[in-house]
């Protein structure tokens, strides 16, 4: 199955802080989770993408959060710079890749203002989470692409097994 994966989860240094969110090397994940992640990668055709970088943002960059979760969306950095257009462009490029390649499922970074699929930071830069989606996760979901995050590997594995 074709699978869109957030570049940071694959170990690419594209996060806002210049680092990554590698599942394989993250001590917070159990060995069995790391093994499942690697099995998913090996058994599927992986397309790596960071929507924020594709939208024109640099690495490193100031942290950003969604300050308006309804249209018109607004994404701002901690220094109040409006980066909404970058996030929207990145989301559009992710969707275009999925449509061009026939990708129907994505594994994205949890809590991210781009990629979070169940919870995101609340826009106050205080670490508070709210139930909502990042802009890329939302656009993909609205267009029929099933989105998982790195804490949902078992669910992703079941989805792949059921939909092959």
Contacts of residue 96, Cβ cutoff 8 Å, sequence gap at least 6: none
Nearest CA-CA partner of 23 in 14, 133, 35, 137: 35
According to the model, what pLDDT value does residue 101 have?
A: 98
- Where would I find the H helices in 44-112? 51-54, 84-101
- Cα first-last separation, the chain: 7
Q: Is 0.95 surpassed by the pTM of this model?
A: yes
The predicted-structure confidence for 36-56, as pLDDT tens digits, reads as follows: 999 999 999 999 999 999 999
* The pLDDT of residue 164: 81
Residues forming beta bridges with residue 148, ordered by sequence position = 107
Q: Hey, how many other C-beta atoms are within 10 angstroms of the C-beta on 82?
A: 12
> For the chain (length 164 residues), average pLDDT per consecutive 10?
98 98 95 97 98 98 96 97 98 98 98 98 98 98 98 98 92
For residue 104, what pLDDT is reported? 98
């Amino acid at each position: 199955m074709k699978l869109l994966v957030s570049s940071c989860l694959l170990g690419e240094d594209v996060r806002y802080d210049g680092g990554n969110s590698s599942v394989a090397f993250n001590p917070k994940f159990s060995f069995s989770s790391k093994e499942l992640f690697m099995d998913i990668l090996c058994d599927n055709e992986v397309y790596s993408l960071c929507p924020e970088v594709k939208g024109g943002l640099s690495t490193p960059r100031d942290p950003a959060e969604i300050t308006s979760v309804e249209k018109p969306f607004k994404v701002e950095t901690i220094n109040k710079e409006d980066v909404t257009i970058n996030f929207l462009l990145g989301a559009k490029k992710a969707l275009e890749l999925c449509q061009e390649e026939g990708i129907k499922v994505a594994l994205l970074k949890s809590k991210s203002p781009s990629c979070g699929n169940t919870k995101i930071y609340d826009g106050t830069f205080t670490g508070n989470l709210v139930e909502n989606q990042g802009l890329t996760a939302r656009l993909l979901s609205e267009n029929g692409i099933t989105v998982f995050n790195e804490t949902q590997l078992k669910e992703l594995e079941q989805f792949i097994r059921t939909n092959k």
